[in-house]
Chains A and B, each alone.
Chain A
Amino acid sequence: MRSRLLPSPAPGHADAHRIYSEHQPWLLQRLQARLQHRQDAEDLTAETFVQLLTQPDLASIREPRAFLTTLARRLLFHFWRRRDLEQAYLDAVRQIGDTHAIGADEQAMLTEALVRIDRALDGLSATARKAFLFSQLDGLTYAQIATRLNISVMTVRRHVARGIACCCAVAP
């Protein structure tokens, strides 16, 4: 298994390097203004350039800063979404009263799993997610789900279908 992200002898490497050295300080500064921790800003800046490397035809990019902003914006969104999810998970653990101490490794794996499922179900509302999970995890009938969520059976059906389609879209 070669590295997942990068074409190994990257043909656009020189271009990426040029764009990086010209615009990295600018991007870092922009991200730093949005993030509390310098480390996070540095990581996201680096991630942005990782993404840049995967773009075909780097030489043709005319507005590197606009391009970098687009990439960085998406990463920043994912970064914040991950934090929201982590927080919601910790809130849930507290609420459930789970007192098992879990290690940092395990926590990281759970967060990864959470992010992965959340991405898979991207675009599904909270209600749609509930309907989908009631069906797939609890085996409730659509009529039961409809009653619980106070929506129609047709809507439940649509949510479940959409959820399944989402899972199929991300699975390898």
Chain B
Amino acid sequence: MKKGSLKGRPGPLLFSFLMLLFSGLMAQTQTTITGIVQNNTQTPLAGVTIIIDGKGGAVTNDEGRFEIKAGPRSTLVFSYTGFKSKQVQLNGETRLTITLEDALETLDNVVVIGYGTSKKKDLTGSIASVKPESLQKFPAANVTDMLRGQAPGVLVTSNTTSPGGGATIRIRGNRSLSSNQAPLFLVDGMIVPHIDDLSPSDIESIDILKDASSQAIYGSRAANGVILVTTKRGKAGKMSVDLNSYVTVQRARRNFDVYSPDEFVALRYWAKLNDGVGNLGTKEDMNYAVVLDDQVMFDSYTSRNFVDWEDLMTKNALQNGNDISIRGGTDKMKYSVGLSYFKQDGVVDKSGYTRPGIRVNLDYTVAKWLNMGTNVYYSRPKTELNDGARFSTILTVPSIAKAYDDNGNLLREISTSGTINPLWYNREYNNEQNDEYLVLSAFANFKLFPGFSYKLTGNVRSNNRETGLYRTTQYPGSTGEGSLSNFKRSSYLIENLIMYAVPIPNKQHNLQVTLLQTFDEDLQKTTGFSFINSPSDAFEWNMAGDATVNGVTRSIQRTHAVSFAGRLQYNLMDKYLLTASVRKDGASVFGANNKWATMPSVALAWKINNEDFLQHANWIDLLKLRLSYGKVGNWAIPSYRTLGLSNSYEYILGDPAALNLGYLPSSQLLNQSLKWETTGSANAGIDLVAFRNRLTTSLEYYSTNTGNLLVQRTVPSITGYTSMWDNLGKTKSTGWEFSVSGIIIDKNDWQFTLGGSFSKQKNKIVEIDGRVDEKGNPINDLNNNWFIGQPINVAYNYVFGGIWQEGETPTPDQFLPGDATPTPGAIKIMDHNGDGKITTDDRKVYNLDPSWYATINASLVYKGFDMNLEFYTVQGVTKNNPWYYDFNYGGSLNGKLNGIKVNYWTPDNKSNEAPKPQYTASTPYFALLGLRDASYFRFRSATLGYTLSKNLTKKWHIERLRFYANATNIFTHTKYKSYSPEKEPSSYPETQGATLGINISF
């Protein structure tokens, strides 16, 4: 061994401990004390440091045992990296069994706050921390979706319900009008565009910064909230291995009916009758040849051979997740390795998702003054997509049809009129997206003198995505056509971080200073082309080179940012806490003179329970009042908006024809003085922990004002442009959040916990562009559906007022000027403003965002059994459902397409719900029927687990062995007719799942 090499260090260390031990021996009367140190699964811990009366020390041997000399009243402190230290006051004992608690379990109480951590009780801002247990409660395909319902103020909505589809997160609702509303995601400090590529099993914690004071350290791009994801790191001690595996059966469920064959014929009959088609027969005795007017349909109907399209297109599908995580290390070197594999088959043919991933996180203590670490993550998701645009046709093609010929071959056309078989479309369509994500990061942390550290971090992330699409020569209208595109996104972030715990001799004061400087680049490049006339269907898009290539595209988006930030955290007597920060950011996307913005914030907290007057209220563990105010920004506009880019146009000129290219400025008027959108936000919160931590509650109120909104405002077309990015207007949002968790029963065998969270949010537009009409009232932007004083995300339309009935004679003021006189069976517009006549003022603003949402969670542990139930509700949301009016979704009651069954008007069924069917004519104001209440209540998940007794599993060298069964989306109560209350019925079905799983730890 070389002299001075790092490997040699344990020797001197041991020596010094022995020295200490020796000096301790000198001090007082000693007895020999023996014992064992173990973790909470009774595994002995080797190398645990033992300090006796603050002086001497020892370490445990390989079997976790120790033998020391100490006085009968000595105080022993056991400490071990990765575990909570434990202090033991001897009372004459000579044999000890010490159980050290896993430090990870204490993460509940440590919150990642952005460039640092804080004990939960010392938090000054509003941060929701989501623990891995709540993330892993039930199998979900991606991390975003797992966050649903896990933190107040965080609303997760499905983006795409197909396998591999992501979800949208809104923190405390919408604030911006045009620009991006997505929060800032950071994984281990690296800015990422989304977290859908992560494996849930790699995640240690997710912390959501909700108020401006916590966000301000991320400054100008934090206005939509910040989501900090921390991945698991190694810990010193014995290697631990965790294995998780589950399999889920998924099925699609809808809450609506389509017309049965007989009902569909009746619909078509009425539609044709109302259009004046003759020779239809009577409704009791229809002339089916005329009503159906299609030989295949006629044959199908008269022989009563129908097709269940949904049954043919969808199936029960499996989902399977496996991961293994190995962690361990020594005081010097710690490792965490995770391997994961996730596979989801689609309930619709030809859709699916797989995501293999590997993560290696290493930490290495080089010297007392230096530690380093690296993170490596690689994953390769593959998404297969069905012919999405055609999926919904399984509901709209009539079941009076023929899907297969007599030999069982799929038919291309299902009726004489030539309607193409939806199964045919799907069969002849292939679409695949292959991603590759690679994240590399490394840091070096220099601890130059006590309390001071300087950390340099470098992060790179790349995402390569190849998307191929192919429609075979059998696909209607295709000559063997498709597209292939390659998207490459690479970003880097360099960060210089200085942290200094200012040594103040008076222990009443505690001051921490953080200084930060970062710069980052995000670069996106896309190359793509489409092609036709492929010589063969065999190789899909991979034969594109032999096909006729057209439409080659190339685009580049590059953004740069530079930031400086500073933060002070001050704690006075553990009662009064202050956090103040300021950040200055520069971003390349803005105009030359407006690139920089400065975002300050301040937060105060008062730990009331530490005051003398509450000294005797022992039942209170924590009572804390928090107040904060800060400014944050939003720069989320696409790059190059201040440059005025042109678009290219292709044309053929000449004889022989030759390609010519022309260029025109885009239809956006150039604005070179774009600047930051800024949000000022105040937050007040009160936290109460009581009854020996059995009750935890938190209540928050926030009020946010956003100004200089980055808005794609409408400009009159006569300018030659249609819109312009501009900074204008103001919005305000306010909300309440409440969370509570109580351990109701806490006995040896029994534990019952009940918790929940409630979030209420409201936003409104305060100002748009300051223009006023002749009466001095502010002008709304009807093009964008922006109304002063109304929520940001709204629809604006008339209100459905029922159906005109026979015998009612509409007077001209009961329908809109310019309209034809309504006839029986037509839609009535409600006199919404109650002025006795129908005018354009009778339109109503419909709020499309939920007004509140909540979660209730119950968990019960009895001996080896554990049970968890979760309920989730979203209320006060209106959502458009085109299936009630749109021709393409069978909603327009034309009798041509099948669709959601409604109670339509006929002369002998004087319905007040839906108008009369018409074969070709269309019904005015039909779209009003689409605005539906989409509130829902859902029994989201139930899990039942059983952990085998350790006595039994020990024999197999297994620390923990748990089996569980889970069901998701068990029951949903909603008036919104669809496969999912968050998606239109044409979207890929959201599924119910039943899971069996196993967790093993070694």
Do A and B interact? Answer: no
Interface set of A (CB-CB < 8 Å, partner B): none
Interface set of B (CB-CB < 8 Å, partner A): none
